[in-house]
Copies of this chain bind each other. A is one copy, B any other.
Amino acid sequence: MGQKIIVIGGVALGPKAACRCMRLAPDSEITLFDENSLISYGGCGIPFFVGGDVDNVKELCSTPYQTLRDPGYFRDMKGFEVKTNTRVTAIDRAAKTVTAKNLLTGEEMTCPYDKLVLATGAKPRPADVPGADLENVYTLTKLEAADAVRHLMESRKAESAVVVGGGFIGLEAAVAMADQWGVKVSVVEMMNQVLPGVLSESLSLMAKHDLESNGVDVYTGEKVLRMEGVDGKVCKVVTDKREIEAQLVIYSTGFLPNGQLAKDAGLEVTSRGAIVVNEYMQTSDPDIYAGGDCCSIKNLITGAQGYLPLGSMANRQGRVIGTNLAGGKATFKGYVGTWAVKLFAKAFCGTGLTVEMARRSDFDAIGVLVEQLDKAHFYPQHDITALELVVEKGTSRVLGIQGCSANADALKARIDPVAALLQHIQPTVEDISTLEAAYAPPVAAAMDVINAVGNAAENVLAGRCQVITAQEFYELWQNRDKNNYFFIDARPQKAGDAIQAEYPDWHAISLEGIQTRWNEVPKDRPVAIICNTGLRSYDAVLCLARHGITDVRHTMGGMQALLAQGGKIKK
């Protein structure tokens, strides 16, 4: 007989590790415990179930070929036992046993193991304000809660909802409820931006604008103080700035790794309670593996321990554990942090560090943003893509990239190559400039937007231009009575003229015109220049420099970025 293996946790990593091990070492005796009744579900699909894209919760528990992944499936098809509704309460590492309790019958059992896998996942950070126990206050990580929220949607019992937390799940849930069910949704985020930690402030404004343009109210930098109810049901959320009516509140303020069982067994955990593993996914006890949302993993860019609770990570780690359970030597070296989220009209995607994260990790970093078409401009379908490359000054090292586009697939195609490089080398800006990407007019421009952002970063790092974000340009413009800036619109003349007709301070001097009209630009005032995407204004900056006008700020991403962030120049 093979080894006795116990797996604790049956969502993503646990079943994956067990299946992989059974394929490689079919004589293994594996038992998987999960305290819930439904297992092996796509937790990331919950917002799509709430929204109605997914019709039945069982679709989330099914294989791509429509087989329900229940205990019978794993027994018959994969050859291992699954005990649901069964909680493992303790690990005895000396005796190599676990104690488990059937939550339905109360029955306790002690089971021996040769190897143990901890796939205990994470729990949502609980609502920590008064009113958290009111009816219709949910977190969305369990299928049961998802079912309840979907029911509220279908029965039209929630006309307004508040989502607390502007991260992935919170925003996906907000979009699902507003878009599919017409619910009035407000998002309250404590940090000063949505998608904190994964988007720069600049790109986060584009996410906020996409939400607001589609009827979702977004309140950033705002703290929930309490929730109030009527007849035990929530009816209102009170923040430090306002009161918001709500028949439904979804709390999604992050996850806490379920590391207590490991900690109680004397295994090493981080201060946040995440289990520490080596590159073979072994805990401090080599006979005990752990992976997925309960674990801390290494950030390959900073070298520090980090946390990335994503189903895609869990699946990859699960396969590594399965291989190693069967005697292999597979490794999981760490993560760079690659993600995507689709809101209403816009998708966002990124990898590595944002400029703010990089600075917090003591990199002397800048973010360089471009806006460019994702396909040949003469090809009839194309979307404008915003990409922000995060680079370290001095070394030109690339630390991350994030972006925004209406075409989620096309955006992913620009992010994932950088993610691949970040996993293996320390790429430089030149590596992005010369990145060889698939080209044909229906999928890219000959100078792809990914190369363009590398080129732009190289120009900034070489000091060929001083850049400002669209948001900074907008603030300068709005405060033009308090500063001394000279504003230039380098777009084709007619576009700029239309604004100058309203605002004489707006100087429409097209790139074509600036070759002869540079002498209209004062040398004793700072200049802020904008065009449609940043291409023309960069050439205008070089032209002005040739005439000795050098105190010039060029607006990254131009009017496209400004409008995407919700900025508005024309009356």
A residues at B contact (CB < 8 Å): 12, 16, 23-24, 26, 42, 44-45, 48-49, 53-54, 59-60, 62-67, 76-77, 168, 172, 310-316, 319-320, 330-333, 335-336, 338-342, 347, 349-351, 372-374, 376-380, 407-410, 412-413, 415-421, 423-425, 427, 430-431, 433-448, 451, 455, 464, 491-492, 511-512, 515, 532-533, 535-536, 539, 542, 546
Contact = CB atoms under 8 A, between A and B. Distances in A.
Contact of A421 (B310, B372, B421, B446): B421
A372 B44 CA distance: 19
Nearest to A314: B446
A65 B532 contact: yes
Given A312-B444, A542-B23, A340 B438 contact: yes
A408 B442 contact: yes
Nearest to A459: B23
Taken together, the copies of this chain in the complex come to 2
Contacts of A419: 417, 435-438
B440 A339 contact: yes
B444 A412 contact: yes
A390 to B, nearest CB: 16
Closest 6 CB pairs of A and B: A312-B439, A409-B409, A413-B413, A417-B420, A311-B446, A64-B377
A338 B438 contact: yes
B413 A435 contact: no
Contacts of A464: 23-24
Given A45-B378, A421-B424, A446-B44, A412 B438 contact: yes
A378 B46 CA distance: 10
A216 B254 CA distance: 54
A54 B314 contact: no
Nearest to A492: B65
A430 B330 CA distance: 8
A438 B341 CA distance: 9
A440 B342 contact: yes
6 contacts: A45-B378, A62-B377, A338-B437, A374-B409, A423-B431, A424-B427
A62 to B, nearest CB: 8
Nearest to A56: B378
A42 B408 contact: no
Contacts of A451: 315-316
Given A45-B378, A77-B515, A515-B76, A338 B434 contact: no
Contact of A436 (B423, B427, B542): B423
A216 B311 CA distance: 43
Given A65-B535, A418-B420, A442 B347 contact: yes
A446 B332 contact: no
